[in-house]
Amino acid sequence: MSGIYIHIPFCKQACHYCDFHFSTSMGKKEAMVLALKKELELRKEELKEELVETVYFGGGTPSVLTSEEINSIIASVYENYRISENPEITLEANPDDLSKELIVELSNSAINRLSIGVQSFFAEDLKLMNRAHNSQEAEECIREATKYFDNISIDLIYGIPGMTNERWIQNIEIALALDVPHISSYVLTVEPKTALFDFIKKGTVIPIADEVAQEHFNTLQDEMEKAGYESYEISSFGKPGYFSRNNMAYWRQKKYIGIGPSAHSYDGVRRGWNINNNPKYIKSIANNEVPIEIEVLSTTDNYNEYVMTGLRTIWGVSLDKITSEFGEKYHSYLLKQADRYLKEGLLYIDDSTLISTHKGRFLVDGIAADLFMLN
């Protein structure tokens, strides 16, 4: 099984925290849609032996496309690839785009899962992040979407400057009351070359303390568990039967191709990434050339990748797989590096699988980095 990721590099406005590739100019939107469809055709041989199980429209903001543009891209997917009988086809969408009319149109398309970028239900958070929607739009679009879609996910961000734990709990309570089956929740990270980075550097925004962000994370884990959601990955919470198949494929290292500027691809042996320039991307595709840079992964690269992705999930890192795929050297190294975290109660071993504890989950990226083998 494999997946296709389609990057839509347009947004109405720039969120202050975002460092993804996008443009706020829609002038090349029509040309971009044509280029995306052309790239799908140019790369069909890469998955000719594969059955595609997931298609994911990410961005940027895919919901700035019309339903006709979305349908034409999906048609190109079906024309060029073998698609499973019941694929998961996800569209990321912002609340301000999800009018009742668009929701109905999408429900009549092949899209069967919505991922709605709420981020917060509070005006002060939305203003600080420079989101285009307000809290009322967020709640109204989710209520409307649930009339037409069974499979809905919403995004929430914690660790926002000025956010108290009480306000974070209220965010979670509002989300749970809307009864969506999947919630993705991330800590706000301050990336270089973003407006938020500049605000913090100038002192106009005070970043939240690490211990407060950790309190938010622990609260999230506890509240979601009480509500019957399972944290199958540290930022992903699903009710039974609603784990994102796209997310699971990524964290379990399944093959996927990335279509569009800045999109990444992975086939287990190589990792690739497209150029992150819209005009250059469109020009290259028009010349029947995919503007992609390829990196061949070493054994150590694949080991590090598996440790990082495995520790973030409930499936953990199989010690038997480490031995069989990477060798005894990597197995011994992993156990040696993990020893302090096992003693500190941040990791544990169950049925020959290394797994992060509840206490260790907030720190898991740093723990994984310490388990990496250096080239």
Does the pTM exceed 0.85?
yes
User: Which residue do the tokens 């979305």 mark?
Assistant: 70
Of 224, 251, 278, which residue constitutes the final position of a domain?
A: 251
**Pair 113, 88: CB distance under 8 Å:** yes
Cα torsion angle, 237, 51, 111, 150, sign? negative
Residues with Cβ within 8 Å of 277's Cβ and at least 6 positions away in sequence, in order, are 261
55 with 201, same domain?
yes
Is residue 23 in a domain? Answer: yes
Number of domains in the chain: 2
pLDDT in tens, the chain (375 residues): 799 999 999 999 989 998 888 888 888 999 999 999 999 999 999 999 999 999 999 999 999 999 999 999 999 999 999 999 999 999 999 999 999 999 999 999 999 999 999 999 999 999 999 999 999 999 999 999 999 999 999 999 999 999 999 999 999 999 999 999 999 999 999 899 899 999 999 999 999 999 999 999 999 999 999 999 999 999 999 999 999 999 999 888 899 999 999 999 999 999 999 999 999 999 999 999 999 999 999 999 999 999 999 999 999 999 999 999 999 999 999 999 999 999 999 999 999 999 999 999 999 999 999 999 986
Of 236, 251, 266, which residue constitutes the final position of a domain?
A: 251
216 with 346, same domain?
no
247 with 308, same domain?
no
Is residue 288 in a domain? Answer: no
CA–CA distance, 176 with 356 (Å, rounded to integer): 26
Give the domain CATH number at 86: 3.20.20.70
For residue 158, give the H/E element and its range. Answer: strand 152-158
Tokens of 172: 């979670």
Burial of 62 (0-12, 13-18, 19+ CB in 10 A): buried
Is residue 344 in a domain? Answer: yes
Nearest to 118 by CA among 24, 42, 182, 209: 182
196 with 344, same domain?
no
DSSP 261-313: TT-EEE-SSEEEEE-S-HHHHHHHHHTT---EEEEEPPHHHHHHHHHHHHHTB
C-alpha radius of gyration, the chain, whole number: 21
User: Which residue do the tokens 């996800």 mark?
Assistant: 90
Of 225, 251, 277, which residue constitutes the final position of a domain?
A: 251
Tokens of 137: 């739009």
305 with 240, same domain?
no
32 with 151, same domain?
yes
Please tell me the predicted confidence (pLDDT) of residue 26: 86
190 with 304, same domain?
no
Q: How far is CA 340 from the centre of its chain?
A: 30
The residue range of the domain holding 321 is 299-371
Coil, strand or helix at 152? strand
347 with 219, same domain?
no
Backbone angles phi, psi at 244, to 5 degrees: -70, 120
184 with 54, same domain?
yes
CA–CA distance, 255 with 218 (Å, rounded to integer): 32
Is residue 122 in a domain? Answer: yes
Pairing mode, strands 52-59 and 2-8: parallel
Please tell me the predicted confidence (pLDDT) of residue 20: 86
Is residue 114 in a domain? Answer: yes
Pairing mode, strands 113-119 and 292-296: unpaired
Please tell me the predicted confidence (pLDDT) of residue 21: 86
60 with 177, same domain?
yes
Give the domain CATH number at 355: 1.10.10.920
Q: Is the peptide bond before 60 cis (omega within 30 degrees of 0)?
A: yes
Category of 173 on φ-ψ map: left (φ > 0), alpha (ψ -120 to 50) or beta: alpha
Is residue 338 in a domain? Answer: yes
39 with 108, same domain?
yes
Q: How far is CA 53 from the centre of its chain?
A: 17
Is residue 208 in a domain? Answer: yes
Is residue 341 in a domain? Answer: yes
Cα torsion angle, 369, 371, 374, 375, sign? negative
82 with 215, same domain?
yes
Neighbours of 195 (CB within 10 A): 15
Q: Which residues pair with 254 in a beta bridge?
A: none
User: Which residue do the tokens 């287990």 mark?
Assistant: 268
